[in-house]
Structure 1
Amino acid sequence: MAGGGDSTGARHKATWHIGEWGNPYEGGGMPGKGVTTYALSSNRQRPFAGFLTKGTWNTVRRARNQILYVIPPFIAAYAAMQWAIERNEYLNSKPGRQEFGGEE
């Protein structure tokens, strides 16, 4: 064996494998100087993965937990709006004008 330890007699300058062509970091090699690598997280690659199976029931669960915070104010607002509409219609009707005239 001549120098590098292989049977061909060639000397190896590098002491670690740099990977296959097109993918130099797969073989355990170190990235070169000034090389920037980027990666995407799995939720960025497939943002709707499991949406139909898990997302629907998660939405139902969250809505159930918030229903007492949302529904009572809507009921109160609806009742107040109905009262205001009826009061406005009465005040602008003939009997309302006769009863209150120019007071309100």
Structure 2
Amino acid sequence: MGGGGGGKVPGVYMGWWGNLGSPPQKGVTTYGLAQNRQRPLAGTLHAAFFNVGRRTAGQILYWAPPMVAAYAIMSWAIERNDYLNSKAGHQEFAEEAE
């Protein structure tokens, strides 16, 4: 018969996709695993720790300096506010207020 039919009669159903009526392949081995034997989260915790470490090391120079600067500025501001609201601070700046 004509080309592409594999010797089959045209118009005859040859099977669903992947099973088009050809002889089965030989030498192909397939394996299966029962769903209750699978470990879908195997190694997730271990990989998560190392991934966080790797990503932090790659990004630390982008966020650490601003965090250190913000901490230093906030520490100075709190210390300055405490001084200005103390007895010594009131005495020092009382002369300017008059």
Higher share of residues assigned helix = 2
1:60-75, aligned counterparts within 5 Å? Answer: 60-75=53-68
The 4+ residue runs of structure 1 with deviation greater than 6 A are none
- After TM superposition, the structure 1 = structure 2 runs for residues 1-104 of structure 1, keeping only pairs within 5 Å, are 14-19=11-16, 25=17, 27-28=19-20, 51-101=44-94, 103=96
Q: Matched residues, percent identical?
A: 49
Question: Aligned partners of 2:67 and 2:53: how far apart in 1?
Answer: 19
Cα 1:96–1:26 shift into 2, 3 Å = same
Relative to structure 1, the CA distance from residue 17 to residue 67 in structure 2 (aligned partners, 3 Å threshold; closer, same or farther) is same
Q: Matched residue pairs, number?
A: 71
Could you tell me how far apart the structure 2 residues matched to 1:55 and 1:28 are? 45
TM-score, structure 1 normalization:
0.52
- The one-letter code matched in structure 2 to 1:15 is V
**Cα distance in 2, alignment partners of residues 13 and 64 from structure 1:** 65
* Alpha-carbon distance in structure 2 between the residues aligned to 1:102 and 1:67: 47
The 1-side partners of 2:20 and 2:53 are apart by 47
Q: 1:90 deviation in Å? A: 0.6
